[in-house]
Amino acid sequence: MANIRIGTRASELAVWQAKKVQEKLKKINISSSIVPISSSGDKDLTKPIYELGITGVFTKEIDIALLNKEIDIAVHSLKDVPTILPLGVRQSAVLKRGLEKDVIIINKSLSDVSNTIATGSLRRKAQWLSKYNSDNVVSIRGNVNTRLKKLKESDWNGTIMAKAGLDRLNLLPKNYLDLDWMIPAPAQGAISIQNLVENDVITEIIKKINHAETEICTKIERDFLNKLEGGCTAPIGAHAKIINNYIEFSGIILSIDGRDKIEIRETEKIENNLNIGIKFAEKIIAMGGNKILNSLKNEI
């Protein structure tokens, strides 16, 4: 077919992801071009994401371009994509997931008493405060380069970031620590490709570059998030991985201050993967998750 137009955010990391899709398409002899689009999340860097009051803060403008047929496919960080897609849009592929964990970039030595940690994520903030309740967590916004620059110019002890983004841009510094205990955002590290439901030709092409294992795991995580009615900004973490035909799942929901939390760790046979994200969310709710969810509705 003719050239496929790839819509993406204009940030360096987003363009990197679009180029990764472009490489995959080239391997199956499909030509493409990249169309950068400015998103709401990139325009206002003064407020925390959860205060912008926009569903799909990093995806909305690209989805509009797709629905208007100005682009043929949309490439997103899957963790930024609302769990309910716009009417007429489908996810046709997800690439093999990259590094899914969070890291802390150390700016000043971490103290045993009190630290100032920067993050724009309520999930990271809540989990950090749950573990280190005497620390002070401040807000930080911007793309990867901007946040690293802000950290360097600050007197903060560190900032928490996704390892995948730093790794993809070769910006992972030596002064970082893996936060293996922190449960990542649902679908963190995964790249999603969406197109119009009506375009069967594009759908069949994009399906050829889908990574089935990543699709299964991220669907479980996103079903978990959807059942808990949590948006992309809520302090909810979820991670699924496949080991020896079993799915190992970790899920967490917290109050914003980290004082209240419910965490589960489950193992399930892979053949039972269809609705287990919902099942795990129902377990969280049964353990008292509704109380935390209700408190979040008043705060976010």
Phi-psi bin for 229: left (phi > 0), alpha (psi -120 to 50), beta?
A: left
The reply to whether 155 belongs to the active site is no
Cβ atoms of 158 and 102 closer than 8 Å: no
Per annotation, catalytic residue among 80, 102, 135, 223:
80
Contact between 200 and 91 (Cβ < 8 Å): no
- Name residues whose C-beta falls within 8 Å of residue 196's C-beta, 6 or more positions apart in sequence: 66, 67, 69, 88, 89, 90, 202
How many of the other CB atoms lie within 10 Å of CB of 297?
Answer: 9
92/89 Cα distance (integer angstroms)? 9
Report, as residue numbers or ranges, the catalytic residues. Answer: 80
